[in-house]
Amino acid sequence: MGALRFIREGLSGRRGLYFAIISVLMIAAPLIFWKLDMPFAANAMLLCLMFSIMAMAWNLLEGYTGQLSFGHAVFFGVGAYTTMILMLYYGITPWVGIFAGGLVAALVGLALGVPLFRLKSHWFALATIAVGEIFKLIFISWDYVGGSAGLQSPIVPESQKLYYLQYAGSYVYVYLALGFLGLELLVMYPLVRSRIGYYLQAIREDEDAAMSLGINPFKYKMVAMFFSALFTGIGGGIYTVRFRFVDPFAVFDLISVSVYITIAGILGGIYSFVGPIVGSFVFVPISEYVRVYVVSRFPRFYGLHVFVLGAILLIISLLAPEGIMGWLEKKGLLGGGEEER
């Protein structure tokens, strides 16, 4: 099959070696954190992986298709709520619920794509912000989903831990997130290397030129939206099983969800396939560390951590305006000539 061939090619040479080393490190890390009793590190890694999944999904729309979304909290929130509701109201295992969350998010994405893709560039971006806020308001006033109080899943007995995916700490969830990131790579890599990936880039570069080459921009934007929302929704499902609590203010938050996904993606480099993963693994630890350290050290300066985080982002963006991967490529640190890592 074509997909398998793309994956084989993608893993050939030095890239395959990097991939193998990073995979081994990722699989070993939670065990080490567990042995050394480092729950904070394990939780930070889980957040890195969740943002990796979502930033990569987001980047299919931004980096490949040129559609800048500040509304991915919608898909994150819908995925989180779907997993929670299926578990809480219907007793459905999150092993199914997480996939269902992704699927419902993808369908919401398609429904939103119909009006949103009538808008171009900054108007599209503005509308995604509005949609995110609208979803927050709907969920705040919707009693079935717990309104502004949100929904919490109860602690289950030992015998049902696996069925309800309920474990102490973040260690197990790191492996869950790793599995989903692996699945995402298996879907996304062949996708961007196929005809669809080329068509998305043509749309990003110039829609009129793309149409002259036989490309229907709306159709392919919808394809990008489907996969983008799907994996962002899966990110939401992982959040639900890990934190056992969803509320509209947290999951539909413009800054700590939508904008953080955007920052992770841009920081890593939107023109690189793995850029958003790199960006997440740089941004999330900095953000977590700054939050915990600055707040505990300077408890009287409320909001100082946001200021410090902003300053760090400013410095990185000045040093590497094309993102970390773009910067590495310019410095020739990626082995040269290897396009789209």
Partner 1 sequence: MSLLEVRDVVKRFGGLVAVNGVSFSLEEGERVGLIGPNGAGKTTLFNLISGYYRPDRGRIIFEGEDITGRRPYEITALGIGRTFQIVRPLSNLTVLDNVAIGALLRHPDVDEARERAEEVLMMTGLHEKRNMRAGSLNLPEKKRLELSRALATEPKLLLLDEVVAGLNPSEVDELLEVLRRINEAGVTILMVEHVMRAVMNISERIVVMDYGVKIAEGTPEEIANDPRVIEAYLGREEF
Measured from the CB atom, the residue of 12 and 23 that comes closer to partner 1 is 12
Strands annotated E in 140-199:
151-152
Q: Is position 317 an interface residue for partner 1 (rule: CB under 8 A)? A: no
Measured from the CB atom, the residue of 216 and 256 that comes closer to partner 1 is 216
| Closest separation in Å from C-beta 194 to partner 1 | 6
Q: Is position 2 an interface residue for partner 1 (rule: CB under 8 A)? A: yes
Distances (CA, A) of 298 to 283, 284, 307: 21, 21, 13
CA distance 26 to 209: 42
Extract the tokens encoding 225.
């939206």
Which secondary-structure segment (H or E) carries 245?
strand 245-246
* Amino acid, res. 151: L
Stretch that binds partner 1, among 142-150, 197-205, 227-235, 309-317 (CB under 8 A): 197-205
Nearest CA-CA partner of 63 in 322, 299, 332, 330: 322
Provide the β-strand partners of residue 152: 245
In the block, residue with structure tokens 């983008």? 228
| Closest separation in Å from C-beta 213 to partner 1 | 5
Q: Is position 12 an interface residue for partner 1 (rule: CB under 8 A)? A: no
| Closest separation in Å from C-beta 217 to partner 1 | 8
SS3 category, 333: coil
Q: Is position 214 an interface residue for partner 1 (rule: CB under 8 A)? A: yes
Give the angle subtended at the CA of 76 by the CAs of 70 and 80, to the nearest 5°.
Answer: 160
By CB under 8 A, what part of segment 167-196 binds partner 1?
193-195
Distances (CA, A) of 80 to 9, 33, 76, 186: 35, 26, 6, 23
Q: Is position 271 an interface residue for partner 1 (rule: CB under 8 A)? A: yes
Q: Is position 114 an interface residue for partner 1 (rule: CB under 8 A)? A: no
Stretch that binds partner 1, among 15-23, 140-148, 205-213, 239-247 (CB under 8 A): 205-213
Nearest CA-CA partner of 105 in 262, 274, 227, 17: 227
Q: Is position 93 an interface residue for partner 1 (rule: CB under 8 A)? A: no
245-246 and 151-152 as β-strands: parallel, antiparallel, unpaired? antiparallel
Q: Which of 95, 198, 243, 245 binds partner 1 (CB under 8 A)?
A: 198
Q: Which of 3, 201, 222, 226 binds partner 1 (CB under 8 A)?
A: 201
Stretch that binds partner 1, among 79-87, 179-187, 206-214, 290-298 (CB under 8 A): 206-214
Q: Is position 208 an interface residue for partner 1 (rule: CB under 8 A)? A: yes
Q: Is position 336 an interface residue for partner 1 (rule: CB under 8 A)? A: no
Q: Give residues in contact with partner 1 (CB under 8 A).
A: 2, 193-195, 198-199, 201-202, 205-206, 208-217, 271
